[in-house]
Amino acid sequence: MVQDSTRLNGLRAKHGRPPAGPHEPQAAPSTLRQGQPRFRGLEAGHRACQGCGEALAARIVMENAGPDVMVANATGCLEVFTTPWPQSAWRVPWMHSLFENAAAIASGMEAALKARGRNTKVLAFGGDGGTYDIGFQALSGMLERHHDVLYVCYDNEAYMNTGIQRSSSTPHAASTTTSPAGKERMGKRHLKKDLLSIIAAHHIPYAASASVAYPADLARKVRYAMGIEGPTFLVVHSPCPLGWRHASALTVEVARRAVECGLFPLVELERGALTNIMPIRTPRPVVDYLELQGRFAHLFDETDTRAIEERDHLQALADHNILTYGLAGTGDDPVDTTGIAHVRRGGPLAERT
């Protein structure tokens, strides 16, 4: 991203990375941490809950976006847990303004950088509330005006920062504090908004969904988006142990099952057309995903026919995704939901990137 190599090397030195260009043999790092070949844009020590999917997703995004970026962050958990004054977990320029304007703040940053002849890449971060709901207009405007910004939505499917209220991204039948399950209601009555299709309708260069369960896939998507000049969009499925009511240790497992059952399809779109999907090697029943989470506990009362109906409904939604995106795998594929979880050095993954 940085053309000026002195400036880039300055940045790298500051962040503990080897200088750009032909590498001299390096002295062995004295600690494992120093030896990490990663850029830590979001540092450890912030105040997220244990097992927070959003914190994990943001760390992976920052590692792959690199140091020459600046971030516009919407109000929400990520903003709050990383910046309790006078502390900050960010090692890049980072700004929070409001809940609903991250995309417009990012637009302004990008316009300013362009006017001042800088190549720093602008990132905008928002939760599902800040993206699907209240910040949606500003996001649409940013995409339409073709700002060179990577917008990342950390989708934990509710307003977590204010205490787990439903958003338009909350899945059907999930219980939240404003869509609680009760005698008359089976959780959220409406469907999860198909945001990616709306984003795709803006015909932007690149839009994709990703999941914290598949860090290599997420990393590749971030890097791909970073290489594009123009608006790009990523929605990252990020379980919230507090809001979804699952064990903190199960964040990745829960996220994986969401993909494996078809409820959260991993897809890529370029200029509005579907260009890639992550095939599901063996689609799992939706109940495998639901049963790990307290927000769906009311769907497991076997004496309640409505519970069984809603489970069937969610299964039908997953089946619909598998069908419309063609997610069903065709055998052992190194980049399907099972294959991609294996660590490889070089190898088949490289062909796909």
Partner 1 sequence: MREALEGSLAIARAVAMAKPDVVAAYPITPQTHIVENLSKLVAEGDLHTEFVSVESEFSAASVVLGAAATGARAYTATASQGVLLMSEVLFNIAGLRIPLVMTVANRAVGAPLSIWNDQSDAMAVRDAGWIHLHCASNQEAVDTTIQAFRIAEATELPVMVCMDGFVLTHTMEVIDMPGQAQVDAFLPPFAFSRALDSADPRTVGTLVDPGWFAEMRHSHHAAMGRALGVIEKVDADFAKLTGRASGGLLTVTGDPDARVGILAMGSVVGTLEAGLADFGTEAGTARLIKLRAFRPFPARALREAVAGLDTLIVIDRAISPGLGGIVGSEVSAVLQSMTAAPRVLNYALGLGGRDIPESVYPALIAAAANPLAPRFAVFDADLDKLMPEDR
Ligand X SMILES: Cc1ncc(C[n+]2csc(CCOP(=O)(O)OP(=O)(O)O)c2C)c(N)n1
Residues interacting with ligand SF4, by CB under 6 A? 48-49, 52, 54, 77, 81, 156, 160, 240-243
Asked if 167 is part of the footprint of ligand X (rule: CB under 6 A), the reply reads yes
Nearer to ligand SF4, 101 or 238 (CB): 238
Residue 48 binding: pick among ligand SF4, partner 1, Mg ion, none (C-beta 5-8 Å cut-off by kind): ligand SF4
Asked if 173 is part of the footprint of ligand X (rule: CB under 6 A), the reply reads no
Q: Which residue has the tokens 């999907």?
A: 277
Which tokens is 293 given? 């989470």
Residue among 225, 242, 245 nearest 234 (CA): 225
DSSP 245-293: T--GGGHHHHHHHHHHTTSS--EEEETTEEEEE--BSSPPPHHHHHTT-
DSSP 112-130: HHHHTT--PEEEEEEEHII
Site string for Mg ion, 144-163 (x = CB under 5 A): ------------x---x---
Number of other residues whose CB lies within 10 A of the CB of residue 269: 21
Q: Nearest distance from residue 130's CB to partner 1, in Å?
A: 13
Site string for partner 1, 131-170 (x = CB under 8 A): ------xx-xx--xx-------------------------
Q: Nearest distance from residue 268's CB to partner 1, in Å?
A: 26
Q: Nearest distance from residue 251's CB to ligand SF4, in Å?
A: 8
Q: Nearest distance from residue 11's CB to Mg ion, in Å?
A: 31
Q: Nearest distance from residue 45's CB to ligand X, in Å?
A: 19
**Buried b vs exposed e over 310-333: b needs ≥16 C-beta within 10 Å?**
bbebbbebbbebbeebebebeeeb
Which tokens is 114 given? 């362009």
Residue among 151, 181, 148, 200 nearest 1 (CA): 148
Site string for ligand X, 137-166 (x = CB under 6 A): -----------------x-x--xxxx----
Cα separations (Å) of 38 from 15, 56, 252?
9, 14, 21
3-state helix/strand/coil string of 307-343: HHHHHHHHHHHHHHHHHHHCCECCCCCCCCCCHHHCC
Q: Nearest distance from residue 74's CB to ligand SF4, in Å?
A: 13
Of 30, 85, 273, 345, the one binding partner 1 by CB under 8 A: 85
Nearer to Mg ion, 160 or 307 (CB): 160
CA–CA separation, 64 and 220 (whole Å)? 8
Nearest residue to ligand X by CB is 127
Q: How far is CA 342 from the centre of its chain?
A: 20
Q: Which range in 72-80, 195-203, 295-303, 322-330 contacts partner 1 by CB under 8 A?
A: 72-80
Asked if 99 is part of the footprint of ligand X (rule: CB under 6 A), the reply reads yes
Nearer to partner 1, 110 or 270 (CB): 110
Chain residues binding Mg ion by CB under 5 A are 127-128, 156, 160
